[in-house]
Amino acid sequence: MSTQNSQRADAGMAAFERTTSRWGRLTMLAGLALSLAGPVYLVAFAGLDLGAARIWIAFIAVAAVFGVFWILEPLTYFPILGSAAMYQAFMVGNISNKLLPAVIVAQSSVGARPGTRRGDLTAVMAICGAATVHLASLLVCVGLLGTWLMSVLPAELIEVSRLYILPAVMGAVLVQCVATMRQVRPTVIAVTGALVIQFVLVPLVPGLDMFATALCVVATMLLAWYLRDRRVVHRVPGASDTMTNETAHDSHDTRDTTPPKESR
């Protein structure tokens, strides 16, 4: 019975991933077309004096600074979000300071490990909830009450919120992530690498200031892989929770659990 339930769950998850991948690509392409429609209209029909050379120069200047994040951000977020939530996250935006904290807290609350089927589904629902709350708060606090709130709040309070809200959110996310993952060695490597890059490497080479985050991510990935505990065998991401629980209870069982050919 457990094998049949696992097979049905795997088939359902495969269908879910096919659907989200198809519609995710379509919505991403639609978002790309809409985001480019405005600039293309201004360049083509608004009479702006912008030649192709100036546009390419501006693109190269932006790519030189932020291009590394186009590769590192998907690689960094995917293990936590999963494929379906990745489409959501990049369509909604504010991943690191809004969506990722929501996903980590949600996964920790329900006991779902990142990279598992339950973790991926939790990430999808967490992003839906975060986006809904964000849009509702924007409608009320900005759309309806924005001007009034800005006139009532003291300027000192607004300045303090700009300086400290984001570090407070990121600090809470860091602690939550460490408590959820419970991976001491990668945590020590990440913190040590970040401190060395931020307080040693960047002061020595100021030109690396814009790439400090990217260097931290790459260095942490490489060092964590090279210094990993090779005695630990990690299970395949996406394995069913049923099989995970059975493995946890019967970790020393050496019986052949391969299903018969008729049930494959």
Give me the DSSP letters along 133-178. Answer: HHHHHIIIIIIITHHHHHHHS-HHHHHHHHHHHHHHHHHHHHHHHH
Residue type present at position 79: P
Helices first, then strands: H and E counts in the chain: 10, 0
Q: Return the CA Rg of the chain.
A: 23
**Average pLDDT across the chain, whole number:** 79
> pLDDT band at residue 226, thresholds of 50, 70 and 90?
confident
Distance CA 101, CA 109 (A): 12
| Residue 216: pLDDT over 80 | yes
CB burial of 240-262 (b: ≥16 within 10 Å; e: otherwise) equals bbebeeeeeeeeeeeeeeeeeee
Q: Are 179 and 108 in contact (CB under 8 A)?
A: yes
Q: What is the pLDDT of residue 234?
A: 60
Give which of 98, 63, 230 is closest to 90, Cα–Cα.
Answer: 98
Share of the chain above pLDDT 70, in %: 86
If one compares 204 and 254, the residue with the highest pLDDT of the two is 204
Q: What is the pLDDT of residue 210?
A: 74
Distance CA 136, CA 114 (A): 28
Q: What is the pLDDT of residue 262?
A: 43
> Which residues are within 8 A (CB) of 86 and not within 5 positions of it... i.e. 6 or more apart?
24, 74, 77, 78
The encoded tokens of residue 214 equal 């990217």
> pLDDT band at residue 233, thresholds of 50, 70 and 90?
low
Residues in the chain: 264
Q: Which range has the worst mean pLDDT, 35-49, 215-229, 232-246?
A: 232-246
If one compares 193 and 183, the residue with the highest pLDDT of the two is 193
Count of other CB atoms within 10 angstroms of residue 130: 22
Mean pLDDT of 159-185: 78
> pLDDT band at residue 208, thresholds of 50, 70 and 90?
confident
Give which of 36, 34, 85, 77 is closest to 59, Cα–Cα.
Answer: 36
Q: Which range has the worst mean pLDDT, 88-97, 177-186, 197-206, 239-248?
A: 239-248
pTM of the predicted structure, to 2 decimals: 0.61
Q: What is the DSSP letter of 200?
A: I
> pLDDT band at residue 235, thresholds of 50, 70 and 90?
low
The encoded tokens of residue 154 equal 């003291």
Mean pLDDT of 63-71: 78
pLDDT digits (tens, 9 = 90+) for 116-167: 888 889 999 999 999 999 889 888 887 887 778 878 888 888 888 878 887 8
| Residue 239: pLDDT over 60 | no
Q: What is the pLDDT of residue 92?
A: 87
Give which of 188, 176, 259, 184 is closest to 220, Cα–Cα.
Answer: 188
